[in-house]
Chain A
Amino acid sequence: MSENGRVSGEVLLKIDNISLSFGAVKAITNVSFDILKGEVRAIIGPNGAGKTSMLNVINGFYHPQEGTITFKNNVRSQMKPHNAAAQGISRTFQNVALFRGMTTLDNIMTGRNLKIKSNFLASLLYYGWTQREENRHRDFVEHIIGFLEIEAIRKVPVGRLPYGLQKRVELGRALAAEPELLLLDEPMAGMNLEEKQDMCRFVLDVNDEFGTTIALIEHDMGVVMDISDRVVVLDHGEKIADGTPDEVRANQNVIDAYLGVSQD
């Protein structure tokens, strides 16, 4: 169970009556919830419930037909993904979307791109101004590499890494942008017990040390109950529950739709 000391009560992201459809397919219907600054918010539900689509909406990749999103007290108009990123929203992906042609280090440095000031003419020469900027940001990225314990694989092309490490590198890439809101799409998927424990530890550390607000989609109920402050449950594109992990676990709708009852 995580403590509520870090959660200030201030609302970071507010989703109001969002509806999203693709032609005749309704992905999300009239969903509202909020995410408080500093908390770990889980989004759970059966497959196809619209969880990833919700994240895509927050990223600005999908544009909802109805509803508003308020981020940091500003109502957001339809924005492009790179604007959402510039505002401080970072993301990992369900199917690891690392840049396969690059090394671990380069992947995480690319995550830092928004923070790197670059001057085209200076970068032609590289030595001098550009190199100093590179080294400065390399320093920060090395902190992340140390934090995630991936020093040994810095120069390995990510395509060659095992799945669990790839997910960790992706987390690093998302952290490099120093986000205020970190969206994690099934960060533990496909991991064994040890890897999950490591990942949980990292997620909690990020939340604790950097104060990053985290929204995570996850299917492992043990993880969700352990590390999240509050949970939102989606099913068939609609919200069916919203509250603390204990409240949600006891909710009959959630049990019917998703959790099931243990057969002992």
Chain B
Amino acid sequence: MEYFQIVLIDPILDMIGFPIFFAEVVIGGLMTGIMYSLVALGFVLIFKASGVFNFAQGVLALFAALTLVGLMTGTIPVTQAQVPMLALPVWIAIIGTIVVMIGLAYLIEFVVLRPLVNQDPIIMFMSTIGLAFVLEGVGDIIWGSEVKALDVGIPSGMFEWQGIQFQQFDIVAAVIAALLVAVLALFFQYTRVGRALRAVADDHQAALSVGIPLKTIWVIVWSVAGIVALVAGVMWGSKSGVQFSLSLIALKALPVLILGGFTSVPGAIVGGLIIGVGEKVAEVYWGPLVNGAIENWFAYIVALIFLLFRPQGLFGEKIIERV
């Protein structure tokens, strides 16, 4: 009985009793959620367009952020010597990184995707695991594996509204994420390329047979995903430094996608927000009861439970089997 009270009643009382704090926890969760959403977006893009679950998305974000830092500090690859003369201003460095990511997309399409056209999804997924490892190792060798600071000029002060503290950084992140989602949604619905992407996701061979240039489509998709990864990498990197743990975000994206549905852009956002808030609230209010670190597994267990009741996610499509 007492246990019941501690687990179920007390935390709720806490939330109600200190609403400002609760609001801040929720807002903090929402902000983390937006970060998750940014990464999940990249997954949705590639999945929507090629049916491949790109495990390397998190590493792409890391790689993009590493490249950006490297360009901004004038680091020479492999030797990691910093040459201040070569340091590029922020906007040029960003464009440079985008070029690198597009080049990477070409490389990935040529080396990994083309040879594996029409293979089982599970094989494609495992190849992206291999890709993730390769990119991580290459990134480490080229740019070095210590934690790096990233500053692209996003304001970092505090900001108050109705007694609740907000971080300016988080507001900027939210705005950027919203913009990105709007652009992507329009892109998929209303452009020819977007339609072609959806066709490719449905059936590679059929798309080929109506003349859709598979290779070009894939390069486009992976480039866009690379840019999304760059945005995600910049956001995360600015907040907590550019380091290896960024690539682990890929794993967190899985529960986000399960909640939101693998093929839905709004789903990635909603899913990310739910997971972000859920994690934070669980950690703050229930964490102390079990010695902490609930965040490590909370998202996955939520996804697991969700799978039982709605496997296609909140916004995903139900699949009809044919025999």
Contact = CB atoms under 8 A, between A and B. Distances in A.
B83 interface: no
Nearest to A93: B323
A56 B320 contact: no
A22 interface: yes
Contacts of A97: 323
Contacts of A56: 323
Interface in B285-323: 320-321, 323
Interface residues of A, number: 6
A22 B320 contact: yes
A97 B321 CA distance: 14
Interface in A122-143: none
Contacts of A61: 321, 323
Interface of A: 22, 52, 56, 61, 93, 97
Contacts of A93: 323
Interface of B: 320-321, 323
7 contacts: A22-B320, A52-B323, A56-B323, A61-B321, A61-B323, A93-B323, A97-B323
Contacts of B321: 61
Nearest to A94: B323
A99 to B, nearest CB: 14
Across chains A and B, which 7 residue pairs bring their CB atoms closest together, nearest first? A22-B320, A56-B323, A61-B323, A93-B323, A97-B323, A52-B323, A61-B321
Nearest to A25: B320
A23 to B, nearest CB: 8
B89 to A, nearest CB: 54
Nearest to B320: A22
Nearest to B321: A61
Contacts of B320: 22
A22 B323 CA distance: 14
B235 to A, nearest CB: 39
A125 B20 CA distance: 65
B191 to A, nearest CB: 27
Contacts of B323: 52, 56, 61, 93, 97
Nearest to A95: B323
A180 B320 CA distance: 29
A61 B320 CA distance: 11
A56 B320 CA distance: 13
A93 B323 CA distance: 7
B291 to A, nearest CB: 40
A150 B290 CA distance: 64
Contacts of A22: 320
Nearest to A22: B320
B262 to A, nearest CB: 20
Nearest to A59: B323
B223 to A, nearest CB: 35
B206 to A, nearest CB: 15
